[in-house]
Amino acid sequence: MAFMVFRRKGVFVIHELAITGEVLKIVLKYAEENQASRVVSINLQAGELRDLTEEWLQRYFDYLSRETIAEGAEIVLKKVPLSLRCAACTGLFHADIRRDDLQCPACGGLENELVGGNEFLIESIGVI
């Protein structure tokens, strides 16, 4: 089995492949346990730090799921913003990782704890 490696914004796009393979395993197991005849949708939730794109997840899923009951299933990706808690004032805020701005907007503090934005979950699997 050969895979093409694509470039996206100067970065090679391949980490979606490994993640998609694991998602497919879980989806097929769930479908089997629930005696499903077909998987129609997979709703995913991923933090911004995961740097996943719905387009590439879907492309890899389409490739990997060929000739399975998950073939043709739609992937829906909900992005979770990067959330930080300031160590100085305990305020919660969303940070923009594209701007590399991790400063607390309330007090200007730079020491922060990661609260959200690194998760990856399968929220739901639609089967018939």
19-61 pLDDT, tens digit each: 999 999 999 999 999 999 999 999 999 999 999 999 999 999 9
**What's the Cα-to-Cα distance from 86 to each of 1, 24, 73, 105, 114, rounded to whole Å?**
47, 37, 40, 9, 9
Cα distance between residue 17 and residue 5, in whole Å: 10
Domains of the chain and CATH, by start:
10-127 (3.30.2320.50)
33-43 pLDDT, tens digit each: 999 999 999 99
pTM: 0.83
